[in-house]
């Protein structure tokens, strides 16, 4: 097959496989089995088959569905939420959603709808929220939703709607609470547009008209109309248009009016006192203003019209000094959020009950206020410092119940809340508290039930710190520290405490009596501390304790009392500790296993020691070996080790031991050499490099007789062989190779040796077969062949293991020659033992 055609087939096959993908593999994410499915952006053109009919929440957004025909979803009658955002839907046929009796939320955002059948939404008998943002809608009259009597929220923002004319069907949308018409093309609002609201008042309705380019509001258009909320942000391109339009709102009654702009949509460049004068003819409960750039002293008068308003929120404004226009305010609630000003508002003698001043910029120091009716004060997130805190002198009230000073700078506690005895809620978190250890600062706060001093850089070394807080139920003090990292007995008066957060406090120990007076405690958070042992003894009186969080500590095990002191516990979080999964702690480990249902993520409680259990679940600990006594295990392990060491040493130094055993007599024999080596000169390399090296330089040391160096020069060769070779050597090593058999000289040497062997009756020939030799060649030397068959011989093998065995056997054979007197052989065994023991 040509390579090109092969490549062609491969490419076709791969293309085929990749086409298969959307159908054969599951495109959706099952978020909650049988309930929630997420199929976003999967190039689907219909609902995938594998979505079960029990599905309640289905996200099909960003799929090219294009066309919704009749009963497209009828198989999914349980659906409650259906998201069809940006599905390129152009056509929705009659009864497209038929069968979705339970659908509450339908999202159609971003579909370029061209054809919407009159019965498109029929069958949606429970629909509460319809999001039809950016669907090319021009006329509300054309939107076939009149029968959706359950509808609470209709969002048709970001369309091309030109008129606020509310169609007659609004009269039947009794439940409508929120109508979002923002970001459309509405320019003029006429009296007749809101006729339906005159006929059938929708008292709960909030209308958002923001981001419409409104030019004219016909005076009286809103007369006698009551709305819950009207929002008009970034509607006007100049202050004059704004002024006339606000006048046009005359007669409107609303709980909340929201005016202003958006951060990135600024049109009204200047603001003066006349802009808001129309507000005098409105009835407003709460007034909200956001994002007006220029808003200062000359607007004071406009706030005169807000005298009867009960709540004002000023969000993201530039205010030189807010007190200028606020000092006439007679309402009860004031919010200043994210505003920039130069001074802390000098609020005096206002009837305010609630003052929220958060996330403001430009002011660094708190100034005393005087608000005798104030009950709720939120000063959080301003980065303020407080030179003195806190008493009725600083806050100018005796009625304060809620005080939030969190996320500020340094707060000096100089006064112990004198005159603020009504306080119930106090939050200092993430501010730096100074002076809290000097005296019992909370002493008069008999009504306080909530106290948060988390992350206030508090180092507790004063035991009276919480004295007087007899009603306290919630105490949060994470991220602080204690003297000696020991939790002292500081909760003595907190008899009603139910929630205590002591996480991240570097704690290592708990004083035994710390919780003796808090019998109602239900939740105790000890996570992220430095505890090494789980000690439940201090909790023995906490009969109400249900949740105990000891995660992120260094707990190895418990102190052994375990559950007996936590009788009513429901949830125990011991994840992320450093458990020792060893027999020493088996009762703790067994307890965890027995009480699994109590533990949070018990399968994620992991062992840290011993090393071989590291990272394994604590539950995988097996106690089978724990029965044996420790000493038994220790001794047997030691024995096994010792035996192995001895065996190893004997194996390694076998010849050294042999040598020691027989060393005294070793040289007594008459022989000068241990062996005379007969070999072919062709094998001289092997003899020099292997044989001589291993035998003459190894242990024990052997002396070989080699003709190339040991024969006496000048003496006849035969004489040399006999005198030097045979007579002075105990053994004869014959290196048999192909060369040896072919060399006559070797044959000669060998024959002499044989004769000599018989004569001296010493069993001393060692054959070494250097290379495999064919039998036919060997048979030419009948005698040698016979001898080889009769005697054992050594075969040379050129690999690590083979060599090792070869040399051991050869050395053994050489030693075996009984060089000393034959009758001493019997003693060699004893000598051997002596040598070992004396060593
Ligand atoms: C999902 O539904 C199938 C069929 O109705 C059922 O067998 C299965 O147990 C359900 N799974 C869950 C998690 O409820
Ligand atoms: C509904 O389910 C039936 C049977 O499972 C199937 O034949 C039909 O095509 C499905 N209808 C839709 C609109 O998916
Ligand atoms: C608004 O109130 C002023 C008096 O404060 C009055 O002169 C004016 O006619 C009122 N305008 C409307 C439209 O009611
Ligand atoms: C405030 O209410 C009082 C009494 O209800 C009324 O007389 C006064 O005109 C109102 N002021 C404004 C600005 O609406
Ligand atoms: C403690 O709580 C109980 C019940 O919630 C209540 O009856 C009692 O008055 C409280 N004690 C104090 C000192 O607030
Ligand atoms: C305990 O505090 C840590 C951090 O401070 C927090 O993550 C954890 O949720 C708290 N535990 C409980 C049970 O509230
Ligand atoms: C410990 O477990 C509880 C219960 O699940 C959980 O609320 C808490 O956040 C956990 N603690 C931490 C530090 O995650
Ligand atoms: C080991 O665990 C089993 C239960 O799994 C228990 O019955 C047995 O007593 C334990 N053995 C030891 C030695 O603790």
- Residue 722 has what DSSP assignment? I
For ligand 7, residues with CB inside 6 Å are 527, 549, 551-552, 571, 573, 600
Our mutation pick for probing the ligand 4 site, out of 302, 308, 310, 331, counting the most ligand atoms within 8 A of Cβ, is 308
Please, which residues have CB within 8 angstroms of residue 37's CB and are 6 or more apart in sequence?
Answer: 28, 29, 30, 31, 51, 55, 57, 58, 59
- Cβ(219) to ligand 3 under 6 A? yes
Residue identifier of the C-alpha nearest atom 1 of ligand 5? 496
CA distance linking residue 266 with residue 345, whole number of Å: 26
Residue 458 CA to ligand 6 centre (angstroms): 19
Joined tokens for residue 284? 């407003």
Q: Are 187 and 209 in contact (CB under 8 A)?
A: no
SS (H, E, C) 146-178: CCCCCCCEEECCCCCCCCCCCCHHHHHCCCCCE
Alpha carbon distance 140, 169 (integer Å): 10
Instruction: Note the ligand closest to the C-alpha atom of 329.
Output: 4
- Give residue 657's pLDDT band: very low, low, confident or very high (50, 70, 90): low
Distance of alpha carbon 241 from alpha carbon 223, whole angstroms: 19
Identify the sign of the CA torsion 243, 249, 252, 253: negative
Residue 630 CB coordination number (10 Å): 10
Q: What is the pLDDT of residue 66?
A: 92
Q: For residues 132 and 124, what is the distance between their CA atoms, to the nearest angstrom?
A: 15
Q: Which of 217-226, 342-351, 726-735 has the lowest mean pLDDT?
A: 726-735
Protein residue with its CA nearest to atom 10 in ligand 8: 623
Sketch the domain layout of the chain as residue ranges. Answer: 675-815
Residue 543 makes CB contacts below 8 A (sequence gap 6+) with 519, 567, 568
DSSP code at position 617: B
pLDDT at residue 780 is higher than 70: no
pLDDT for 66-90, tens place per residue? 999 999 999 999 999 999 999 999 9
477: which DSSP letter?
Answer: -
Both structure tokens of 446 = 């008999």
Q: Bridge partners of 704? A: 675
74 C-alpha vs ligand 2 centroid, how far in Å? 8
3-class SS shares of the chain: helix, strand, coil, % to 5: 30, 20, 50
Q: Is 77 in the pocket of ligand 2 (CB under 6 A)?
A: no
> Cα of 404 to ligand 6 centre, how many Å?
21
CATH class of 675-815: alpha beta
pLDDT attached to residue 649: 81
> Where are the strands (E) in 261-384, listed by range?
283-290, 311-315, 333-337, 354-358, 376-378
pLDDT at 814 over 50: yes
Residue located via tokens 């018990």: 602
Residue nearest to atom 9 of ligand 1 (CA): 34
Above 90 in pLDDT, residue 485? yes
pLDDT at position 478 is 97
Confidence at 666, pLDDT banded by 50, 70, 90: very low
Nearest to 45 by CA among 59, 62, 70: 62
Helical (H) or strand (E) element with 783:
helix 782-790
Which of the residue ranges 102-111, 159-168, 611-620 would you say has the lowest mean pLDDT? 611-620
Q: How confident is the model over 460-471, as pLDDT tens digits?
A: 999 999 999 999
- E-strand stretches of 323-424: 333-337, 354-358, 376-378, 386-389, 402-404, 410-413
Tell me the angle at which helices 654-666 and 800-815 cross, rounded to the nearest 10 degrees.
20
pLDDT of residue 776: 73
Q: How far is CA 704 from CA 490, 666, 687, 692, 770, in A?
A: 92, 15, 11, 7, 18
| 231-236-238-243 Cα dihedral, nearest 10 degrees | -50
> What pLDDT score was predicted for residue 835?
34
Peptide bond into 369 cis (omega under 30): no
738: pLDDT confidence band, cut at 50, 70 and 90? confident
Q: How far does the centroid of ligand 2 lie from the alpha carbon of residue 71, in Å?
A: 10
pLDDT band at 132 (very low <50, low <70, confident <90, very high): very high
For 523-543, what is the mean pLDDT? 93
- Residue 590 Cα: closest atom of ligand 8: 2
Range in 43-52, 425-434, 752-761 with the lowest mean pLDDT? 752-761
Among 696, 757, 690, which residue's Cα sits nearest to residue 729?
A: 757
Determine if ligand 4 sits within 6 Å of the CB of residue 282: no
**Site to substitute for ligand 2 among 47, 67, 75, most atoms within 8 A of C-beta:** 75
Which one has a higher pLDDT value, 772 or 549? 549
According to DSSP, residue 725 is labeled I
Select the more confidently predicted residue: 268 or 819: 268
> What confidence score (pLDDT) does residue 754 get?
63
Q: Which ligand is nearest to the CA of 571?
A: 7
More confident call, 671 vs 97 = 97
For residue 106, give the nearest of 157, 44, 153 by alpha carbon. 153
- Mean pLDDT over residues 605-624, rounded? 89
| Rounded CA separation 15/234 (Å) | 53
CA–CA distance, 206 with 175 (Å, rounded to integer):
12
Q: Are 445 and 416 in contact (CB under 8 A)?
A: no
pLDDT score for 838? 34
Quick one: which atom of ligand 8 is closest to the CA of 626? 13
| 673-678/729-736 β-pairing | parallel
Residue located via tokens 């009756």: 761
Residue 178's Cβ-count burial label (10 Å; 0-12, 13-18, 19+) is: middle
* Residue bearing the CA closest to ligand 8, atom 9: 623
The residue whose CA is least distant from atom 1 of ligand 3 is 281
pLDDT at 127 over 90: yes
Question: 3 pLDDT exceeds 60?
Answer: no
The SS3 of residue 592 is helix
Distance 495 CA to ligand 5 centre (A): 8
pLDDT of residue 561: 62
**Confidence grade of residue 104 (pLDDT, cut at 50, 70, 90):** very high
Structure tokens at 120: 């498109």
pLDDT of residue 660: 58
Quick: pLDDT tens for 363-396. Answer: 999 999 999 999 999 999 999 999 989 898 889 9
* CA atoms of 57 and 172, how far apart (whole Å): 28
Res 276: pLDDT: 83
The two tokens of residue 736 are 């048999």
Question: Tokens at residue 397, please?
Answer: 């009230």
Mean pLDDT rounded to a whole number for the chain: 85
836 has a pLDDT exceeding 70? no
| Distance in angstroms (rounded) separating the CA atoms of residues 242 and 268 | 8
50 CA from centroid of ligand 1 (Å): 13
- Report how far apart, in Å, the C-alpha atoms of 83 and of each of 45, 103, 131, 434 are: 14, 11, 9, 53
Return the bridge partners of 649, or none.
none
Residues in the chain: 839
Q: What percent of the chain has pLDDT over 90?
A: 52
What is the per-residue pLDDT across 617-647, written as a single tens digit (0 to 9) for each?
999 888 777 766 666 767 878 888 888 888 7
Residue whose C-alpha is closest to residue 673's, from 749, 620, 730, 754: 730
In this structure, what token pair is assigned to residue 739? 């060369």
Instruction: Name the CA dihedral angle for 784, 788, 789, 795, rounded to a multiple of 10 degrees.
Output: -150
563: CA distance to ligand 5 center in Å?
Answer: 29
Minimum mean pLDDT among 51-55, 373-377, 759-763: which range? Answer: 759-763
* Banded model confidence at residue 837, pLDDT cuts 50, 70, 90: very low
Mean pLDDT across 413-428: 94
């Amino acid at each position: 097959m040509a390579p090109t055609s092969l490549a062609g087939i491969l490419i076709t096959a791969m293309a085929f496989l990749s086409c298969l993908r959307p159908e054969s593999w599951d495109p959706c994410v099952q978020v909650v089995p049988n309930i929630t499915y997420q199929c976003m952006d999967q190039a689907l053109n219909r609902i995938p088959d594998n979505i079960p009919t029990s599905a309640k929440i289905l996200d099909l957004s960003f799929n090219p569905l294009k066309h919704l025909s009749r009963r497209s979803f009828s198989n999914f009658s349980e659906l409650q939420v259906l998201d069809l955002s940006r599905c390129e839907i152009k056509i929705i046929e009659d009864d497209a959603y038929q069968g979705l009796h339970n659908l509450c939320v339908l999202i159609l955002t971003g579909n370029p709808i061209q054809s919407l059948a009159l019965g498109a939404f029929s069958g949606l008998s429970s629909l509460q929220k319809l999001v039809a943002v950016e669907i090319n809608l021009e006329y509300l009259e054309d939107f076939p939703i009149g029968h959706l009597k359950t509808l609470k929220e209709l969002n048709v923002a970001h369309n091309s709607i030109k008129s606020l004319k509310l169609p007659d069907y609004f009269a039947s949308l009794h439940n409508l609470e929120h109508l979002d018409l923002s970001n459309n093309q509405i320019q003029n609002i006429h009296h007749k547009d809101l006729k339906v609201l005159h006929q059938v008042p929708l008292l709960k309705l909030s209308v958002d008209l923001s981001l419409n380019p409104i030019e004219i509001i016909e005076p009286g258009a809103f007369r006698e109309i009551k709305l819950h909320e009207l929002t008009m942000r970034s509607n006007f391109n100049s202050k004059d248009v704004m002024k006339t339009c606000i006048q046009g709102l005359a007669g409107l009654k609303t709980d909340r009016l929201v005016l202003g702009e958006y951060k990135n949509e600024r049109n009204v460049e200047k603001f003066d006192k006349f802009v808001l004068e129309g507000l005098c003819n409105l009835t407003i409960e709460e007034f909200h203003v956001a994002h007006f750039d220029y808003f200062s002293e000359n607007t004071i008068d406009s706030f005169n019209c807000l005298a009867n308003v009960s709540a004002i929120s000023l969000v993201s404004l530039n205010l030189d000094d807010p007190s200028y226009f606020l000092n006439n305010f007679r309402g009860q609630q004031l919010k200043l959020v994210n505003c920039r000003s130069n001074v802390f508002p000098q609020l005096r003698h206002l009837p305010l009950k609630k003052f929220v001043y958060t996330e403001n910029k430009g002011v660094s120091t708190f100034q005393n206020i005087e608000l005798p009716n104030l009950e709720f004060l939120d000063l959080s997130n301003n980065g303020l410092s407080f030179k003195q805190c806190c008493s009725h002198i600083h806050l100018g009230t005796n009625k304060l119940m809620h005080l939030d000073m969190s996320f500020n700078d340094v707060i000096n506690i100089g006064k112990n809340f004198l005159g603020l005895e009504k306080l119930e809620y106090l939050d200092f978190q993430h501010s730096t508290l100074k002076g809290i250890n000097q005296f019992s600062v909370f002493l008069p706060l008999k009504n306080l039930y909530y106290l948060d001093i988390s992350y206030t850089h508090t180092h507790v070394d004063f035991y009276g710190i919480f004295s007087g807080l007899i009603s306290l139920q919630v105490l949060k003090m994470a991220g602080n520290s204690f003297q000696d990292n020991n939790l002292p007995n500081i909760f003595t008066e907190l008899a009603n405490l139910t929630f205590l957060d002591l996480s991240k406090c570097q704690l290592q120990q708990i004083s035994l009596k710390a919780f003796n007076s808090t019998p109602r405690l239900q939740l105790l958070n000890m996570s992220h501390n430095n505890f090494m042992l789980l000690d439940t003894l201090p909790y023995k009186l906490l009969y109400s304790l249900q949740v105990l969080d000891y995660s992120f500590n260094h707990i190895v095990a418990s102190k052994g009392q375990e559950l007996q002191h936590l009788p009513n516990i429901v949830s125990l979080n011991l994840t992320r500790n450093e458990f020792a999964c060893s027999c020493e702690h088996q009762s703790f480990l067994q307890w965890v296993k027995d009480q699994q249902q109590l533990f949070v993520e018990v399968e994620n409680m992991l062992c840290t020691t011993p090393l071989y259990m590291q990272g394994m679940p604590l539950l995988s600990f097996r106690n089978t070996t724990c029965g044996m006594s420790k000493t038994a295990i220790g001794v047997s392990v030691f024995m096994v080790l010792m035996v192995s060491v001895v065996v190893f040493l004997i194996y390694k130094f076998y010849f050294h031991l042999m040598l020691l055993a027989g060393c005294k007599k070793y040289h007594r024999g008459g022989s000068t050499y241990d062996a005379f080596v007969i070999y072919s000169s062709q094998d001289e390399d092997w003899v020099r490099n292997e044989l001589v090296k291993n035998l003459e330089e190894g242990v024990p040391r052997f002396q070989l007789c080699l003709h190339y160096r040991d024969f006496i020069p000048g003496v006849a060769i035969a004489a040399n062989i006999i005198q030097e070779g045979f007579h002075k050597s105990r053994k004869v090593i014959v290196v048999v190779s192909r060369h040896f058999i072919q060399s006559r000289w070797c044959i000669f040497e060998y024959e002499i040796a044989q004769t000599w062997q018989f004569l001296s009756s010493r069993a001393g020939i060692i054959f070494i077969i250097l290379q495999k030799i064919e039998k036919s060649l060997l048979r030419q030397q009948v005698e040698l062949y016979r001898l080889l068959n009769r005697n054992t011989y050594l075969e040379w093998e050129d690999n690590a293991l083979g060599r090792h065995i070869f040399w051991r056997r050869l050395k053994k054979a050489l030693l075996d020659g009984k060089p000393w007197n034959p009758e001493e052989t019997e003693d060699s065994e004893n000598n051997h033992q002596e040598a070992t023991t004396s060593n």
